[in-house]
Structure 1
Amino acid sequence: MTADETPAEVDAPAHTPVLRVVKGDLTPEELAALVAVVAARNAAAANAAGRTKPAPRSEWGHPSRQVRAAHTFGPDRWRRSTFGR
């Protein structure tokens, strides 16, 4: 640390720019609009990545499969009871 540097300047990490305008002369309003669009797009991508669907649950052993309709009486109903009609 030299005499003209403060401790905050020494401890601060060097930041690399995330966005760099290579061509053109932007006004502060245009630059702010560009930064807002890029930030919104990154936030939408991060939100979409966090909303992954869980794997579908198997319904094979669900208790509702054990519930059967009551038997109805009538001609030939014993044969149709196996197909649930």
Structure 2
Amino acid sequence: MHLVVEVVTPDSEERDRSAKPIKYANAGIKFFWRIELDGRDAVAYAYELDPAIRAYVPTGIHRGHLRTDIGFVVDIDLDLRKPTG
């Protein structure tokens, strides 16, 4: 099982949204997540590869928290506003 996570920056926005998902799908990467900023909030866009069409289908948009099971449990705090330390 493979998971790729792209963290989008202004310089990589076009590649991360269009070119890279096609490359990852062609390589057979099962899960693809794209992390972007929406204002000051992190948003995770989650996709799973549909093998019949060899393209990603959306499985969720996560704000504040990402919890899912993709063969193992993933539990990520996306809240950038919490104090650290």
Query: Does TM-score exceed 0.5, indicating one fold?
Result: no
Q: Which has the higher contact order (CA 8 A, sep 6+)?
A: 2
Which is higher, the Rg of structure 1 or of structure 2?
1
Normalising by structure 1, report the TM-score.
0.22
Of Structure 1 and Structure 2, the greater strand share is in 2
